[in-house]
Structure 1
Amino acid sequence: MLPFRKRPFGLSFLSALVVSLVLLGAGNAGFAQTAPAVKAPQIDNPQRVLLVGNSYFYYNDSLHNHLRRMVMAADPAAEKTLEYKSATIGGASLSHHNIDWLTKPGQIGVKEPFEVVILQGHSAAALSDKRQASFRETATEFAKIIASRGGKTALYMTHAYVAPHKQAKPDNIAKTEAFYLSVGNEIGALVIPVGLAFDAAYKRDAGLKLHNAEDHSHPSLLGTYLAAATTYASLYGKSPVGNSYDAYGAIDAKTVRLLQEVAQDTVTEFFGRK
């Protein structure tokens, strides 16, 4: 794990330079080819997992429920041992959460320390210097607390807005990817490439409806399913392709297969970078 360092509020010159260089390397394709420092699960088959974020997590019966069901579909015996929790605040930035309280053993109904804590920032966390600085400082401090309790930190790379959302821009996914990779590599966290999976899925089938039709920001059920499959592949190092979980029949078999394949292909490419 990379060493943690206390940082003042605001991007340092070096951090800003790294992000700028990554974005320059992204080009028009929207993919920064920086390699993640953490390329594999840091915990073998995690049982105690906490997700900390906002409405991007809790929409559509909550990401943690879909992820947990996917784990159980692959290993039915896991139902007896899995302890998944989700702590969400609508519209929240990461700094709005009390990670010390949330991760204290027994505080939210899980007696043993969480093995993995997944952190999600505001949907626009990467889109301004002020939000970037806040997320970087908060994630750094949260990772220290998580590590002090024996856990590992993972960062959830959010998906980008789509038109006609007023903040939708072609380069948003490149900015988001570059930023999450920069922070993840700095603090030694696993980066879960959900945003890249959304982008890849739309490129494979432009007719997919991964975003909520009302606000073009939150995930639809298909978006949450894709996020769960991507998180599963990243967190457990196992392919979701062929997993029997289909949101209790709410997603047809063809679409389930497509989303599973996109998730696995995205994770394989992302963690295979050199």
Structure 2
Amino acid sequence: MKFTLKLVLGLLLATTLTTAESRGEGDAAPKPLNVLMIGNSQCPTIVNSQLIDKLAASDKGARPIKVTGCIKGGASLRSHWEAGTGPTTARGMIAAGPWDFVMLQDIYHVQPAAFQPYARQFHEAIKAAGAQTVLFGTASILSDYPAGFERLHTMHFAMGKELNVPIVDASQAYFRYFGEKPSSEKLESLFAKDRAHPGLQGSYLYSCGIYSVLTGRSPVGLAAPEAIPSDVAKALQETAWAQYQETTAELKK
């Protein structure tokens, strides 16, 4: 009798575990995507306010994302590279890993001759560390609109094609959001008061574009900072997603 009861209980327990496993209840929490962002003062709001992390957290079924910054004000890829391999340097952090993605963001006034060799060298270091390179082409300063925006787009697109890596084509996303004949108010809406760094809306547009590139998922309908009106947040999300789709298709040609 005791043996029979023990057998029945064992069968019930096995059935319960099998049912839970089929529902995924026994699965471990999904592993976060670990992202290292190497850049300058275009990036602090993205990292410090965890804008990308919060987009992922609000996306049902998506993996969590943890973004770590190697951010130095006024830094170029060249200065990041020349900083050496100490534990807090870009090269040191890449090697320490592990990272799923490493994003490279250069200074707004960089020219091709200064951008290309360091993008290539960082890409090789990133590959050696087992991670995926992402090129983050930001907007330029407002006084450099539109020529500087186009220069950054052209450089990053060409390097993305050469290295066969994805790019966050934020300068083109700014163009898309501004439209054909933007007002001064529209132009300034993505910038901080200094008209050089992204404001909250600009940083959020960056973040939605980055999220699309990292995941291939749309940011439309995901979390946005309370300070951004809901209609503006939706427009920024839709802009980022449309630009991601266009840029991805162009890179594949």
Shorter-chain TM-score above 0.5: yes
- Normalised TM-score (structure 2): 0.76
Instruction: Say if 2:142 is the partner of 1:151.
Output: no
Q: Per-residue CA shift, 1:29-73, capped at 9, x if unaligned?
A: xxxxxxxxxxxxxxxx97111000000001x36377101111111
Q: Of residues 88, 93, 100 in structure 2, which corresponds to 1:102?
A: 93
Partner of 2:203: 224
Q: Per-residue CA shift, 1:120-145, capped at 9, x if unaligned?
A: 000111xxxxx422221111111111
The separation in 1 between residues aligned to 2:205 and 2:249, in whole angstroms, is: 20
Contact 2:35–2:102 (8 Å) recurs in 1: yes
1:158/1:242 Cα in 2 relative to 1: closer, same or farther (>3 Å)? same
Q: Of residues 94, 104, 108 in structure 2, which corresponds to 1:123?
A: 108
| CA positional deviation for 1:76 | 7.8
Q: Gapped runs of 5+ residues in structure 2?
A: 1-30, 81-88
Instruction: Say if 2:93 is the partner of 1:113.
Output: no
Instruction: Say if 2:151 is the partner of 1:175.
Output: yes
The separation in 2 between residues aligned to 1:271 and 1:199, in whole angstroms, is: 17
Relative to its length, the structure with more helix (as a share) is: 2
Supply the AA of the counterpart residue of 1:220.
G
Instruction: Give the paired residue count.
Output: 209
Q: Of residues 188, 193, 198 in structure 1, which corresponds to 2:174?
A: 198
Partner of 1:241: 220
The separation in 2 between residues aligned to 1:89 and 1:202, in whole angstroms, is: 29
For CA contacts below 8 A with separation 6 or more, give which structure has more relative contact order: 1
Supply the AA of the counterpart residue of 1:170.
P
- Matches for 1:85-96 after TM superposition, within 5 Å: 85-96=68-79
Partner of 2:85: none
SS of residue matched to 2:95: coil
Task: Find runs of 4+ consecutive structure 1 residues off by over 4 angstroms.
Answer: 76-79
| CA positional deviation for 1:84 | 2.1
- Normalised TM-score (structure 1): 0.70
Instruction: Say if 2:38 is the partner of 1:47.
Output: no
Instruction: Say if 2:242 is the partner of 1:269.
Output: no
Partner of 1:21: none
- Matches for 1:158-169 after TM superposition, within 5 Å: 158-162=138-142, 165=143, 168-169=144-145
Instruction: Say if 2:122 is the partner of 1:142.
Output: yes
The root-mean-square deviation of aligned C-alpha atoms, in Å, is: 2.1
Contact 1:99–1:145 (8 Å) recurs in 2: no
SS of residue matched to 2:42: helix
Contact 1:192–1:234 (8 Å) recurs in 2: yes
Instruction: Say if 2:235 is the partner of 1:258.
Output: yes
Contact 1:123–1:160 (8 Å) recurs in 2: yes
Supply the AA of the counterpart residue of 1:197.
A
1:101/1:265 Cα in 2 relative to 1: closer, same or farther (>3 Å)? same
Quick one: percent identity of the two aligned structures? Answer: 25
Partner of 2:11: none
Supply the AA of the counterpart residue of 2:43.
F
Contact 1:64–1:86 (8 Å) recurs in 2: no
1:63/1:195 Cα in 2 relative to 1: closer, same or farther (>3 Å)? farther
Q: Of residues 64, 69, 80 in structure 1, which corresponds to 2:54?
A: 69
| CA positional deviation for 1:119 | 0.3
1:56/1:189 Cα in 2 relative to 1: closer, same or farther (>3 Å)? same
1:221/1:134 Cα in 2 relative to 1: closer, same or farther (>3 Å)? same
Contact 2:46–2:204 (8 Å) recurs in 1: no
Larger Rg: 2
